[in-house]
Structure 1
Amino acid sequence: MTYRTLSLLAALLLAGCDASLAERKEPPPSQPPAEEATPDAPKTCWDKVVTPAAIETAPDQTAAPATSKTETHQTLVQEPKETSFEIPCPPVLTPEFVRSLQRALAARDLYGGSISGKMNKRTRAAIRQFQKTDGLDSDVLSIAAARKMGLIAVELPED
């Protein structure tokens, strides 16, 4: 093969890569979550967690044992799932708020870092661990988790 053919082949292979892997649903740790309004709550912020499908690969029992070729089959164990959840908007995530968050996580023995007021990797890992008990596997703080820790006021139903 020539150099040009190899270059073209490489470009085609890269173009065929799964674009969803490059598309991160959660913001990188250094950036605040993106603001997204919903029709029923126009001034709220939301994030999304996408849980991929789980597929199990097993050897095919119908294959003849005398052959050296192994046949396998795949079974869908879990459907892909998309979960949207409300998050504090960027103006709320002040250094003072993050320090309060870090103290709340430390009080629950989930955070062992310094109370810096910065949303760092350790803080995000503690957020993920705290929210995982409620079924949300994300390092982006949800409004529900912030309320559960007493960081954001709980909305009372109107009488």
Structure 2
Amino acid sequence: MIFRLIFGCALVLTGCSDQVRVTAPGVSDLGIELLRLKEGEQPPAKPGICWAKDTTPAVIETTTEQFVVTDEQRDAAGTVTAPATYQTKTHQRLLQDHEEVWFRAPCPQDMTVNFVATLQRALKARGLYLAPVTGMMDATTAESVRRFQAERGLDSPELSLSAAKELGIIATDVAHL
């Protein structure tokens, strides 16, 4: 009797196996959650909601061109008697100015030693944090956070709430999404 029950459950599960697909979570785009305000403005203050800010770097394109000033000189036999001379001109163009961006972040009171240790372990599991787990938000931890977030469109060492959720160290709060 028990054998038939187990065998029956196995058959049912086997029949469902091609309908259940488990996929790895994708990489989120943290850039879409950036809040761009005028300089000096701050996001609205609401209880339990904390913000962090960072400045995005300016993007500058440098173009270098080389021009012929004088052509080379050759004699009747074709031998070069005077080489060509060139001039190099470099131009820079601002593609995007730096700007201040705001994003949701864990509140300072939540950044406890245990929370930061959990953050370090989550980054270590992804190969981004190689130092010992200390629970201290030091430069090594901040750089690991920056590398994790940069792949997702937020090049900042300040931990965003969305990155913390993706790392699995903060539960998703449906009421605040």
Match of 2:145 among 127, 144, 147: 127
Answer yes or no: is the 8 Å Cα contact 2:128–2:148 preserved in 1.
Answer: yes
Does residue 57 (structure 1) correspond to residue 62 (structure 2)? The answer is: yes
- How many residue pairs get aligned? The number is 122
Q: CA deviation at 1:154?
A: 0.5
Q: CA deviation at 1:72?
A: 3.3
Match of 1:45 in 2: 50
Match of 1:152 in 2: 170
Distance 2:110 2:138 in 1: 16
Length-normalised TM-score, structure 2: 0.58
Match of 1:73 in 2: 91
Closer/same/farther in 2, CA of residues 108 and 70 from structure 1, 3 Å limit: closer
Q: Which runs of 5+ in 1 are unaligned?
A: 1-35
Distance 1:110 1:70 in 2: 42
Q: Which runs of 5+ in 2 are unaligned?
A: 1-40, 71-84
Answer yes or no: is the 8 Å Cα contact 1:47–1:86 preserved in 2.
Answer: yes
Q: CA deviation at 1:45?
A: 2.1
Q: Which has the larger radius of gyration?
A: 2
Structure 1 segments, 4+ long, off by >6 Å, are: none
Identical aligned residues as a percent: 44
**Aligned-pair Cα RMSD in Å:** 2.7
Instruction: Give the number of the structure with larger relative contact order, counting CA–CA contacts within 8 Å between residues 6 or more apart.
Output: 2
Q: When you count strand as a share of all residues, which structure comes out higher?
A: 2
Closer/same/farther in 2, CA of residues 57 and 110 from structure 1, 3 Å limit: closer
Deviations 1:7-61 (A, max 9, x none): xxxxxxxxxxxxxxxxxxxxxxxxxxxxx97326354222222223222233456
Closer/same/farther in 2, CA of residues 65 and 87 from structure 1, 3 Å limit: same
Closer/same/farther in 2, CA of residues 110 and 69 from structure 1, 3 Å limit: closer
Deviations 1:47-84 (A, max 9, x none): 222223222233456x6614876443322334434421
Deviations 1:99-133 (A, max 9, x none): 11111111112112111111112211211111111
Distance 1:136 1:58 in 2: 27
